Amino acid sequence: MSTPAVPADIPVFDGDPFSMEALADPIGFDGRVRELGPVVYIPKYDYYAVTQWDEIQKSLRDWRKISSDDRPFYEPNPYRPKVLVLEDPPSHTKNKAAAMAVLSGENLVKFEQYFAVEAERIVSDILANGPAEIDAFHDLSARYVLKVFPDMLGLPEEGRELLLKFGDGVFNVFGPDTEFQRMKLAGAAPAQDWVERNSYRDAQTEGTVGWQLYELADAGKLPEEDARQVLKSIFAAGFDTTTASIASMIRALADHPDEWAKLKANPDLVDNAWEESIRYYPASRFGGRYAKHEVQIGENTLPEGAKMLMMWLGSGRDHRKYDNPDTYLVDRDLTGGHLSFGFGIHTCAGNLVARLEARTLLKELVKQVDTIELTGEPRQAMNYQAFGHEYVPVRLTPKAA
């Protein structure tokens, strides 16, 4: 079948959004594409980038025309999730309900209590001997996230670090077949095996999230294989992006000591500071969709079958939505929200847990830490779809007793 002609009013960008240059500076790269127009055609890969905040949000409301069950780079892959992100109703409704049932309500109350205990323990341990020079990604964020959430999932201690490799594999699936992608997926292969073993019913401990999902299957709420796929989706999205985004938050606070001072002086800003952090440094660069029918996006008409990427990362710095979007402000008015967890029926199912993890840790840092200072150059992770920092060298100075 021939590809429909690109509408004449849509700008064309001849660059490569998946080049090493673009991956090294996705905020700058996607920002330049965003300023070409609200919809931009990428001929190298035959998709449309929806780039600006308003058009992305409006598009995500219309799941009947703008579907999630196809997208650019949709070739079969063992890392590609099979539920939630890549579904439309009615199957999405059923599986999203199952995910929300185990990631909210009474479980979230239990998570909050446990997260707070572990956050206090870890931060206190880091500061036990006074000022501490650490890598905020490995020594704080990953140490915390790979403790608290796997415990709630009932995962074994051995092999947990593979969850980051698994997430790295998952978030590099949606992009072109290159040596970079092949290297990333090969590196994630042991993690894929570990996740498969720990997603089956017989690996679940009574009372844990995985066990509860299989209980929902037993109650006829979803097929058993869907229960396993929902659990795998939690494994895929619950670690790599959370650890990277917490490290990015600490980098933002280290880069802006006046904002850290503002936050210490007013701890009630913790929740808002986290939302500003995830706006400023979204954990995901984009999400995919396709047009089931001819569809209007802003003033542009896209043909039936058009594949799209919704550019979350660029939307967080859209000056049409935010005043001074490249400025980090812990007290920014975020009444209109952000798109860093998606929007509409496909808002990230784990957003409540991610928010709880990050806010709980940030509250503990506010309690115990006086200053956060960079001691070297942070390093952003290279990834097709995920965004975050994999190395953030900082000095944490404790508050005076």
Residue 125 CB-density burial (10 A; 0-12 exposed, 13-18 middle, 19+ buried) = exposed
Q: Can you tell me the distance from the alpha carbon of 117 to that of 180, in angstroms, rounded to the nearest whole number?
A: 40
Give the mean pLDDT of 241-262: 96
SS3 134: strand
Amino acid at site 11: P
- For residues 209 and 231, the answer to whether their CB atoms sit within 8 Å is yes
In the predicted structure, residue 285 carries a pLDDT above the cut 50 = yes
Structure-token pair, residue 144:
């915390």
Name the DSSP class of 141: I
Judged by average pLDDT, the poorest of 92-106, 137-151, 372-386 is 92-106
Domains (ranges, CATH) in the chain? 20-398 (1.10.630.10)
- Containing H/E element for 395? strand 393-398
Whole-number Cα distances in Å, 101 to 94, 97, 278, 350: 11, 6, 24, 11
SS3 206: coil
Whole-number Cα distances in Å, 78 to 82, 192, 229: 9, 8, 12
pLDDT band of 30, cuts 50, 70, 90: very high
β-pairing verdict for 307-310 and 393-398 = unpaired
| Nearest CA-CA partner of 261 in 397, 127, 115 | 397
pLDDT at 3: 55
In the predicted structure, residue 2 carries a pLDDT above the cut 70 = no
- For residues 164 and 383, the answer to whether their CB atoms sit within 8 Å is no
Q: What is the mean pLDDT of the chain?
A: 93
Residue 41: strand pairing partners: 12, 48
- For residues 77 and 205, the answer to whether their CB atoms sit within 8 Å is no
Structure confidence by residue, pLDDT tens digits, 385-394: 999 999 999 9
Give the mean pLDDT of 197-207: 92
In the predicted structure, residue 26 carries a pLDDT above the cut 60 = yes
Amino acid at site 385: Q
- Give the chain's radius of gyration (CA, Å): 21
Q: Can you tell me the distance from the alpha carbon of 202 to that of 184, in angstroms, rounded to the nearest whole number?
A: 30
pLDDT at 4: 62
Q: Can you tell me the distance from the alpha carbon of 338 to that of 321, in angstroms, rounded to the nearest whole number?
A: 9
In the predicted structure, residue 345 carries a pLDDT above the cut 90 = no
In the predicted structure, residue 398 carries a pLDDT above the cut 60 = yes
Length of the chain equals: 401
Structure confidence by residue, pLDDT tens digits, 164-195: 898 898 899 999 999 999 999 999 999 989 98
- For residues 391 and 378, the answer to whether their CB atoms sit within 8 Å is yes
pLDDT band of 1, cuts 50, 70, 90: very low
